[in-house]
Amino acid sequence: LGGALGAQFRSRSGLPVINVAGCPTHPNWVTETLMLLAAGLLGAQDLDAYRRPRFYADHLVHHGCPRNEYYEFKASAEKLSDLGCMMEHLGCLGTQAHADCNTRSWNGEGSCTRGGYACINCTAPEFEEPGHAFLDTPKVAGIPVGLPTDMPKAWFIALSSLAKAATPERLRRNAVSDHLVVPPTVRDIKRR
């Protein structure tokens, strides 16, 4: 956790090494960390288990993902250009990645998932050697090995089955297309 300085390192102020993770690191995380340190507002209690500042590490990349509607119904993309959720087939780790990438966009505009690329969890230790291709989703018996961090496996399996059964045709068809094939229905409010 301390890198070249070692896990036991402490600064003169008593802080351990602070890991502002990311590849590349979000510039706002660096500046906010430095501002909080300069103001004396960042202490050891404000760091997570990997010593990342909690102001960004207490969030998941999944929060604010533009593909959440597809995720909720398990309408999955099959190739990068598809609109669907990239977790099931394209290796997206946004449900496990601790960062606020989709709520604190890069340059106020983007993130990996907003750009159409799967999250590779670059804020996690040793992310660069996952043991499989970044765009692969390792599975056991057809179930992704890396499930959302806050959901028991049995719940995920049960909810996935229900969600897939209830997926609206619009989402099912749009998920495997690079553009909207079926737009949302416009309800006629006069008929009420």
State pLDDT tens for residues 3-56: 778 878 888 888 888 999 999 899 999 999 999 999 999 999 999 999 999 999
186 DSSP 8-state letter: P
State pLDDT tens for residues 80-115: 999 999 999 999 999 999 999 999 988 888 899 999
pTM of the entire predicted model = 0.84
CA distance 28 to 107: 9
The H-assigned helical ranges of 61-191 are 68-72, 87-90, 153-165, 169-175
CA distance 164 to 50: 35
Q: Where in the chain is the domain with CATH 4.10.480.10?
A: 60-176
pLDDT of residue 1: 67
Highest mean pLDDT among 34-38, 166-170, 181-185: 34-38
Res 181 pLDDT > 90: yes
Confidence of residue 2 (pLDDT cuts 50, 70, 90): low
CA nearest to 167, candidates 71, 66, 75: 75
DSSP-derived 3-state class of residue 110: strand
pLDDT of residue 192: 63
Pairing of strands 143-144, 139-140: antiparallel
Q: Which residues pair with 106 in a beta bridge?
A: 110
Q: Which residues pair with 25 in a beta bridge?
A: 22
Superfamily of structural domain 60-176: Cytochrome-c3 hydrogenase, C-terminal domain (4.10.480.10)
* Average pLDDT in the chain: 89
Q: Contact 137/89 with Cβ under 8 angstroms? A: yes
Res 158 pLDDT > 90: no
